[in-house]
């Protein structure tokens, strides 16, 4: 029996997939890179930011930090000076 069949290129599918994945990775990186470089106007930021929610979060964080600061101060005062 003679084998006249040409050898199949078994790497072609794997290479195509690898190339496609590399292109997708490059696109993701470019999208991430360019999105970080984008400048926003005050109007655009005003449309995206929920000012009431932001103010609520800032008030909560200020209250938390004040509480932590108070605890630290109380802790410092309770340490004896005998060193």
pLDDT for res 1 = 47
DSSP assignment, residue 4?
Answer: -
Average pLDDT over residues 40-65: 91
pLDDT tops 60 at residue 9: no
**What is the C-alpha to C-alpha distance for residues 69 and 72, in angstroms, rounded to an integer?**
5
Higher pLDDT, 12 or 64: 64
């Amino acid at each position: 029996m003679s084998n006249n069949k040409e050898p199949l290129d078994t790497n072609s599918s794997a290479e195509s997939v690898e190339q496609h994945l590399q292109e997708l990775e490059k696109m993701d990186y470019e999208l991430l890179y360019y999105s970080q470089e984008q400048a926003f106007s005050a109007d655009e930021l005003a449309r995206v930011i929920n000012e009431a929610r932001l103010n609520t979060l800032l008030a909560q964080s200020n209250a938390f930090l004040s509480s932590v600061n108070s605890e630290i101060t109380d802790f410092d005062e309770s340490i004896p000076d005998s060193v």
